[in-house]
Copies of this chain bind each other. A is one copy, B any other.
Amino acid sequence: MSDAPSATPHRERGLRARRRREARQTHAVIAGVKRKIPPYELLGEEGLIRIEKAADAILEEIGIDFRGDEAALRLWRGAGANLTGERVRFPPGLLRAILKSAPSAFIQHARNPARSLRVGGEDVVFAPAYGSPFVQDLEGGRRYGTLADFENFVKLAYDIPWLHHSGGTSCEPVDVPVTKRHLDMVAAHLTFSDKPFMGSVTAEERAEDSIAMARIVFTREFVDANCVIMGNVNVNSPLVWDGTMTRALRAYARANQCAVVVPFILGGAMGPVTSAGAIAQSLAETLAGCALAQLERPGAPVVFGNFLSSTALRSGSPTFGTPEPALGSLVVGQLARRLNLPLRCSGAFTASKIPDGQAMQESAMSMLAAVQCGAHFILHAAGWLEGGLVMGYEKLVMDADFCAALHVYLKGLAVDDDALALDAFREVGPGKHFFGAAHTLAHYETAFWESAVADNNSFEQWRDGGMKDARTRAAERVKRLLAEYEKPPLDPAIAGELADFVQRRKAELPDQWH
C-alpha cells in the first residue's frame, strides 16, 4: 500500500493542506500533563549497571531471533551485527550507537492542533487500554467487543479530559473481519475524536493502510515530516522478533511515524521469574526493536516500551498490579532515562474480572508506579480488566478518575508564600477554623482535587441516595458521557476521502475472521 489516491483535484488538496498546516502553527498548544515531581529512584548506579551488562550479555552471547523478515536481517547485517541464520547477535555498544539518532522527545500531532502531545521530556500522556477481545459493562456483562463498542470507547476517551490520547485497539471489533477491522478502527479514531491515536500493527499492509488514512487527514508532506500516528509492536518474548511485528515496525519507521516497542514478559513464562532478569531481557529486546526502527529510518520517533507482569506460579495464572512489577517499573524508568528515550511503562493493570476492590487496588499500585517511574506514554491507563482480556466501561471511567488525581499528583507540592499561608495563621490563630479565612476563600474553588466518581458524602446522604457503590456511580457516568458526546468537527471533504478509502480497501480485501 502506498498513499491514497483521491478524486479531489490536486490544487484544492494543496490549499487545504496549507490551511491545515497554518492552523497547526497558530495553535501551538501541547496537551497532556507536565511532570513537576522527580521520578522515584529505586536502584543505585551499581545495580543499574549490572542490569545493563546482563542485557549486553544476552545481546552478545545469546542473541535475538528475527524470524521471517529478510529485510530486517539485511539491515542488521549492514549495521555490523553477527548473523547465524535468523539469530542476530550484537557486538557490545552497537545498539546504543545506532540509537543515537532516535529523538529523546517528539510531538505526536492531533488533527486538532490543540490536542497535539509531546511524548518525552516533562510531558506525560494517558491513553486508554488496548487490545481486549471482550468488553464489559454493569448492565450487559462480559461479551465480545463490536465496532459499536469500539466507537463508544473512542467517544469516551474523547469526552474525558484526563485521557489525552484516543489509544488504538480499544477493543477488538470482532463483528468486522480481521482483515478489515483496522480500517474501521482508524476511521473511528479520525472521525469520532480529534485526539492523537494509534494505528494497526497486525500486518504490514494494515500498518500502511493506517498511515495512508493519516495522510488523507494530515497530507503526505506533513506526515513525512511529523509524527501523527503510532504503532504498538510487541516482541515475541523471549528473544524473538516475529516478522509480522518487525515489518509493521519498519512500516511506521519508514513513514517517519512512531513505533512503540514493547516486550510482553510474564515472569516465569516468557522470561525468568526474577525481576532483574526479566528487566535485563526486556531491555535487550527493546534496544533491538528501537534500533531496528533507526536502521529503517534514522531519526524516526520510537518509544522504549516495557510491560512487566508476574505469575501465580502454582496455578500458572498471570497476576497484575502486584508489588514486583511496581518495583520493576521504577527500575525500567531509570534505565530509559539513561538511554534518553521516551518511555512507555505500566498501566491500570488488574487480573480482576470486575471493577471491584481488587481491580482498583491493583490498578492504583500499577498506575502510581507508572507516574513515579517517569513514564511518558502510559498506555492502558484506563479500562483494563482481567489481564487485558476485557475493556470495561465502568473501569474506564474509574481509572480515568484516577488519571485526574494523577494530574494533581504530577504537579507536586507548591512551597511559596501563598502556599505556606502564614497570613492565614495570623488571621485565624489557635482554636479557630479556617473555613472563612481570606486565604481559604481565595482558594476554595481549586484547592483540592475532587473526584467525579468518589462519594465523599455522609453515610446518611449516601444511604438515601441508594447506597451506590463506585461501579454503579461509574455506570451512570458512562451513560451521561455517551449521551453528552458531541462529535468534533471534521472537514466533510476529508471525511469523504476517508470513507472512500475505507470502502475501496474493503472491496479489495478478502473477508477473514481469524
User: From residue A439, how far is it (CB to closest CB) to chain B in Å?
Assistant: 6
Interface segment, A18-26, A97-105, A405-413? A405-413
A275 within 8 A of B: yes
A51: B residues at CB distance < 8 A: 415, 420
Which chain A residues (245-283) contact chain B, with CB distance < 8 Å? 267-277, 280-281
Distance, CA A214 to CA B30, complexed state (A): 62
Distance, CA A269 to CA B428, complexed state (A): 11
When the two chains form the complex, which single residue of B274, B414, B463 contacts A276, counting CB atoms closer than 8 Å?
Answer: B414
A430: B residues at CB distance < 8 A: 62-65, 87, 238-240
A326 within 8 A of B: yes
Q: Are B362 and A454 in contact (CB under 8 A)?
A: yes
Q: Report how many residues on chain A are interfacial, defined by Cβ distance under 8 Å.
A: 127
Q: Are B274 and A435 in contact (CB under 8 A)?
A: no
A280: B residues at CB distance < 8 A: 420-421
A470 within 8 A of B: yes
Given known pairs A315-B457, A356-B470, A459-B389, the reply for A274 and B429 (CB within 8 Å) is no
Q: Are A327 and B413 in contact (CB under 8 A)?
A: yes
User: From residue A18, how far is it (CB to closest CB) to chain B in Å?
Assistant: 44
Mark each residue of chain A from 429 to 449: 1 if its CB lies under 8 Å from any CB of chain B, else 0. 111111101011001110111
Mark each residue of chain A from 132 to 152: 1 if its CB lies under 8 Å from any CB of chain B, else 0. 000000000010000000000
- Which residue of B has the minimal Cβ distance to A431? B240
Distance, CA A371 to CA B63, complexed state (A): 39
Distance, CA A202 to CA B314, complexed state (A): 49
User: From residue A316, how far is it (CB to closest CB) to chain B in Å?
Assistant: 8
A458 within 8 A of B: yes
A372: B residues at CB distance < 8 A: 40
User: From residue A477, how far is it (CB to closest CB) to chain B in Å?
Assistant: 13
Q: Are A459 and B272 in contact (CB under 8 A)?
A: no
Distance, CA A478 to CA B331, complexed state (A): 36
A287 within 8 A of B: no
Mark each residue of chain A from 296 to 322: 1 if its CB lies under 8 Å from any CB of chain B, else 0. 000000000000001111111111001
Distance, CA A65 to CA B432, complexed state (A): 11
When the two chains form the complex, which single residue of B62, B316, B357, B440 contacts A469, counting CB atoms closer than 8 Å?
Answer: B357
Interface segment, A9-17, A347-355, A480-488? A347-355
A83 within 8 A of B: no
When the two chains form the complex, which single residue of B37, B267, B386, B455 contacts A351, counting CB atoms closer than 8 Å?
Answer: B455
Distance, CA A432 to CA B269, complexed state (A): 9
A467: B residues at CB distance < 8 A: 353-354
A324 within 8 A of B: yes
Distance, CA A489 to CA B61, complexed state (A): 59
A364 within 8 A of B: yes
Given known pairs A42-B413, A327-B409, A429-B239, the reply for A361 and B398 (CB within 8 Å) is yes
A31 within 8 A of B: no
A429: B residues at CB distance < 8 A: 62, 238-239
Q: Are A41 and B38 in contact (CB under 8 A)?
A: yes
Which chain A residues (454-499) contact chain B, with CB distance < 8 Å? 454-459, 462-463, 467, 469-471, 474
- Which residue of B has the minimal Cβ distance to A395? B357
Q: Are B447 and A268 in contact (CB under 8 A)?
A: yes
A363 within 8 A of B: yes
A358: B residues at CB distance < 8 A: 360, 451, 453-455, 469-470
A323: B residues at CB distance < 8 A: 405-406, 408-409, 449
When the two chains form the complex, which single residue of B267, B357, B420, B470 contacts A448, counting CB atoms closer than 8 Å?
Answer: B267
A463: B residues at CB distance < 8 A: 353
A402: B residues at CB distance < 8 A: 361
- Which residue of B has the minimal Cβ distance to A458? B317
Q: Are A419 and B360 in contact (CB under 8 A)?
A: no
When the two chains form the complex, which single residue of B43, B330, B419, B471 contacts A275, counting CB atoms closer than 8 Å?
Answer: B419
A236 within 8 A of B: yes
Q: Are B240 and A413 in contact (CB under 8 A)?
A: no
Q: Are B311 and A448 in contact (CB under 8 A)?
A: yes
Q: Are B364 and A365 in contact (CB under 8 A)?
A: yes
A199 within 8 A of B: no
Given known pairs A37-B42, A280-B420, A360-B361, the reply for A434 and B240 (CB within 8 Å) is no
Q: Are B428 and A238 in contact (CB under 8 A)?
A: yes
A77 within 8 A of B: no
Distance, CA A253 to CA B439, complexed state (A): 37
Distance, CA A351 to CA B51, complexed state (A): 42
A47: B residues at CB distance < 8 A: 413, 415
10 contacts between A and B (CB under 8 A): A43-B413, A50-B420, A238-B429, A238-B430, A239-B429, A277-B439, A319-B451, A327-B413, A351-B454, A357-B360
10 residue pairs, one from A and one from B, having the closest CB atoms = A277-B421, A239-B430, A364-B364, A273-B447, A272-B421, A360-B361, A276-B419, A357-B360, A358-B470, A357-B470
